[in-house]
Structure 1
């Protein structure tokens, strides 16, 4: 992030040492200078008043192909630098060669070649530097594509090294001239890359109609990746709808319908494999009458909101805060959350059509509109992607400010079924300033949804707050994904982007229209906790792919409590479709009396996966609760204490009692996998195997 002043008003006299500026100049001449095999270009330019000055172009900057004598050029991010001074009278010597040291200067921060060029030229006045962070472009009146990126301003300046050795050129930090302190840095866990199940292609020839799936989580990648890296995941990271979206489900016999949404109902009665209790289930198969060929995503008004706060500069595959609450810096060369976010955002822009409109907001402690909302066809998209890759991180996290800036760009735009106004949030979901309360944030996003502005959350890093993402993605029109690999996310975008951004059904309600049954629990909806004894609500259904006629994530499961032995199950389903059409249907469903009875394999698979997810959530919640209560009260107040959404790591521990339950659950899953004929469930069996292998570590369990 750089400190830029207004391009048209900036003159040479405004250029300050260590600060960046945007400035319009006239190009006069260019000269190449060889500095130990590296070429530095010296440009002579003039500001708008005619004042001539020198600009050095470093070897790692962009190739200068578009310079024209007498033409006006725009320099973005020009770094100001003072002349190089001689060595100071310090008696300190270089730790490597014993040479004399001088105070470091701004030009030293961009590389030794620029320093040598400045010395060779004997520059006695301040000059400018074009390095890898800066660009120079000729201003053309006939330019057809617009680069409308505006860099994020802040008060930071470029910090030079403390000292420079005049003999060998080494950068020497002040602390190196004192006795070194003991290095107590905590080593990070090795990165372990896991491969998730690939979704079926949206263009599969075997499809007849588009499937449907509930909004909310679209994967359980965060849960799996935490385990792979030796952490106990957050319980919300394995939501039922996220797990269901890893699988395809038989939805039942197709019924005639004039509506786009065609729900299908099935039942099951089965004994729980661990408790032995008899459970009754109703599944709602999520299917549509919309053919794949007829599906077309609407035009998009999309604003990408990129979190550039300090935590985004931490390692992608480790926690920003360790189990003791200490911040952990990223290892040199390690991929950061921001690296993954910018790579993913660039990939997302590749999915846009010329008629779509794109805006970009950057936010940390405040929001900055980096790119105004403009149609893609007239935007210089390669330039925009280059700017995105150059973004840097720092500061606190004001999620509220970032979202409100995006909504302001969208709320006055066109609305209706043929236009989708969507905010794509790329963040680790750890707000710590502005509105941070869960109810405040929920209201913020819900009010935007009422105005027709929907949100997709893209969770970054192992420590992304699954609980907050789970809550917010239950809002109308919302969904969320966790990124465990930018490459994997890019592949996913190519296969299902159109489905990701096109909600088709809103406000699905299922009312039990009798007193014979009550709703005990709902599995597969982000708003499951809002269910009452009589009513189930699902905020949004998105299109999904099909495989051999089975819909990906195409089920919502209702666990029932039978109130009378002679009870009938009468249902009233109601929903609203994207075009505004409202529908209601009444159905009576037969519930069998015999245990181990399933209407079809779709409901059987859903029951098995829901039981599996429930057991893992119970274990994860227990470990996190116990980790939070392992010590007495720490009432020491810190000025930078973690916010309520900033998560610490919890080491992977499996107490013996859970290992025994996981072993029973594993045997049950193997039997169900064989019965329903879905070999992809083997990944859950392997996960339980991994957890059972942790059982010998019971001596290291978190104490009660």
Structure 2
């Protein structure tokens, strides 16, 4: 920290290291002020005054170095410098105001009593001071977020020398004429701060980017809400399970895809369906896997919606905001605890930065290597964060990208932004296309993003859209403790994309792609091309890869045709790979190459039914609401979601009964008892008597 006394400017804040010399207490009518005499690193001595509402000054030791963050610069008031105008409150003389006045009357009085006339520093409730222990080499480089853009504190125009009232210049002239009386004044208020199982038999598995769970979907159902349909993406659901990927093939590349086919009747419609699975495996051994060095910027949402209860909707009943109840677990509390847990996964040579954002972005911690950062102090600051204001997600991201843009390290290092947010942007760039372009441009320059969604009302649709970008993934947090456990299990996998741009092209006129399950880029599939933007490493269990499958539902366009495929991809080191494959499709129904594809088919059908139900309920809720054209000042934006009560129409209930029976049979067939959680979810939905003849939903 090279800042010296010469850098102190009135109304501005700065960070400075000083040597403590002496302290003196001054009792004023409105409280006690401490005057600290300190010296900068050049030996220049100067005075610092503390406001009564600042943190108690402890642990000061003569001759020791102390690091002060957000010290406010000020010029002491001069009581002899008065104007011709008089105070409208008491008729007393007015003098020009200073920042010392803005900090409080006690500070101004103490400065006058001490006869201070040179620039001073002020420690207020936005300032922190910490002693630098001998032998300590770490830095606490945290800068609190303030209500204004740069932490500046404006001085009042004038102050009454008698009653100490503040007044603005526009309310008086040089002479105290009656028609120019000072009829308004500002009270003296100091501004407040804004506040895996990693064991593997041989190699690391792989899983598609995008969603890494369906927690948001499950928790909405448990709490009595109808979830957003995007909250149960196939890749998120697949990541809850381990999949057999098929026989290993010889390969010189890191990625070793395996292909398998199945023919099976849909349990409700009775239609015969044909599937192709791409087993996602690698040739990289667990022992040889090493996550890259990280430049990581955590971007924390500190907007008003983050203060709402974790298990409720902030925007409800036509856009009215729901405030947190006392002692309620809030999204912000979970986010700050999760961020603290995340910092504990970093290595000394990783670099960490932190951005806070609401209606604007604030760099709370510049990018610095962890080994020289006082990480316990940083975690204390994180736990002290408060929230308010609107949500400019784009501003927060751009501030993070600006920090990472100066990266000059090894090109194999990973540059990653981790967003902790409820994904409800309502100011700045809010359109899906605008945000997608913003994140995609950064990804093209090697800056990848992880989204960590907070709360039941987290916008699953936006998270699903953005996490399909190259190198991106997203998680929904149910509890900070659960997320902490997950970080310990798989943080290295979460931040280490290994394969990009996996394309699977059908080189035959006998089949075409009907749908893709297990990729956030599924909607980009054409009749003969499947695309997966990113593959991340994943843990294995008994040789099966977590989330290790992408499933393709096929449509046969010509009988007896061979299924010819061309797979191509790019690996992290920049090498490109292509392979040609022929896959034989079985003739008989209920034929599966292995249990991995059978489990994937069952889960894809299950997710498809739940999305169809959720979409139907939400569309009905929108349609039955009529048109409300009354304009409210805080009406919902595009990403602000109202809750929809848990509702199961008769048609959906009937299908769920059949789905439950089918899923129970498949659980027994593949021998995976963890599928019981899906049966339990169907039990919560509460089915009614089945109705025959319903059509399978299109997707």
Task: Tell me if TM exceeds 0.5.
Answer: yes
Query: CA 1:57–1:496 in structure 2 vs 1: closer, same or farther (change >3 Å)?
Result: farther
Q: Is the 8 A contact 1:298 1:417 kept in 2?
A: no
Q: Given the alignment, which residue of 133, 144, 149 partners 1:151?
A: 144
1:339 pairs with 2:330:
no
Q: Which residue in the other structure is 2:36 paired with?
A: 45
The two structures have a TM-score, normalised by structure 2, of 0.79
Q: Which residue in the other structure is 2:61 paired with?
A: 68
Q: Given the alignment, which residue of 519, 530, 534 partners 1:525?
A: 519
Q: Is the 8 A contact 1:28 1:43 kept in 2?
A: no
Following superposition, the deviation at residue 378 of structure 1 comes to 1.1
Q: Is the 8 A contact 2:654 2:688 kept in 1?
A: no
Q: Is the 8 A contact 1:417 1:579 kept in 2?
A: no
Following superposition, the deviation at residue 388 of structure 1 comes to 1.4
Query: CA 1:152–1:249 in structure 2 vs 1: closer, same or farther (change >3 Å)?
Result: same
Q: Given the alignment, which residue of 136, 155, 160 partners 2:129?
A: 136
Following superposition, the deviation at residue 342 of structure 1 comes to 1.0
Q: Is the 8 A contact 1:300 1:420 kept in 2?
A: yes
Query: CA 1:669–1:423 in structure 2 vs 1: closer, same or farther (change >3 Å)?
Result: same
SS in structure 1 of the partner of residue 485 of structure 2: helix
The 1-side partners of 2:688 and 2:434 are apart by 40
Choose 1 or 2 for highest CA Rg.
Answer: 2
Q: Is the 8 A contact 1:133 1:390 kept in 2?
A: no
SS in structure 1 of the partner of residue 320 of structure 2: coil
Following superposition, the deviation at residue 632 of structure 1 comes to 2.2
The 1-side partners of 2:539 and 2:575 are apart by 23
Q: Is the 8 A contact 2:320 2:634 kept in 1?
A: no
SS in structure 1 of the partner of residue 606 of structure 2: helix
Structure 1 residues without counterparts, runs of 5 or longer: 34-39, 81-116, 159-199, 697-704
Q: Is the 8 A contact 1:315 1:336 kept in 2?
A: yes
1:648 pairs with 2:621:
no
Q: Which residue in the other structure is 1:501 paired with?
A: 495
Q: Which residue in the other structure is 1:295 paired with?
A: 289
Following superposition, the deviation at residue 53 of structure 1 comes to 7.5
Query: CA 1:695–1:78 in structure 2 vs 1: closer, same or farther (change >3 Å)?
Result: farther
1:580 pairs with 2:587:
no
Following superposition, the deviation at residue 227 of structure 1 comes to 1.0
Following superposition, the deviation at residue 473 of structure 1 comes to 0.6
Q: Which residue in the other structure is 2:482 paired with?
A: 488
Q: Is the 8 A contact 2:48 2:123 kept in 1?
A: no
Q: Is the 8 A contact 2:48 2:122 kept in 1?
A: no
Q: Is the 8 A contact 1:10 1:23 kept in 2?
A: no
Q: Is the 8 A contact 2:11 2:152 kept in 1?
A: no
Q: Which residue in the other structure is 1:443 paired with?
A: 437
Query: CA 1:416–1:526 in structure 2 vs 1: closer, same or farther (change >3 Å)?
Result: farther
Following superposition, the deviation at residue 27 of structure 1 comes to 5.3
Following superposition, the deviation at residue 568 of structure 1 comes to 1.2
The 2-side partners of 1:412 and 1:134 are apart by 29
Q: Is the 8 A contact 1:310 1:395 kept in 2?
A: yes
Q: Is the 8 A contact 1:56 1:129 kept in 2?
A: yes
1:387-417 CA-partner distances (Å, limit 9, x unpaired): 1112221111111111111112213314666
Structure 1 stretch displaced more, 460-469 or 641-650: 641-650
Q: Is the 8 A contact 1:670 1:685 kept in 2?
A: yes
Q: Given the alignment, which residue of 262, 270, 275 partners 2:269?
A: 275
1:3-55 CA-partner distances (Å, limit 9, x unpaired): xx9997668x969xxxx99788855247899xxxxxx9974424789786764
The two structures have a TM-score, normalised by structure 1, of 0.79
Query: CA 1:667–1:64 in structure 2 vs 1: closer, same or farther (change >3 Å)?
Result: same
Query: CA 1:417–1:201 in structure 2 vs 1: closer, same or farther (change >3 Å)?
Result: farther
1:455 pairs with 2:446:
no
Q: Which residue in the other structure is 1:321 paired with?
A: 315
Query: CA 1:568–1:52 in structure 2 vs 1: closer, same or farther (change >3 Å)?
Result: closer
Q: Which residue in the other structure is 1:360 paired with?
A: 354
The 1-side partners of 2:432 and 2:341 are apart by 30
Q: Is the 8 A contact 1:27 1:72 kept in 2?
A: no
Following superposition, the deviation at residue 304 of structure 1 comes to 0.9
Q: Which residue in the other structure is 2:258 paired with?
A: 264
Aligned residues: 602
The 2-side partners of 1:226 and 1:634 are apart by 26
Following superposition, the deviation at residue 338 of structure 1 comes to 1.2
SS in structure 1 of the partner of residue 580 of structure 2: strand
Q: Given the alignment, which residue of 625, 629, 634 partners 2:628?
A: 634
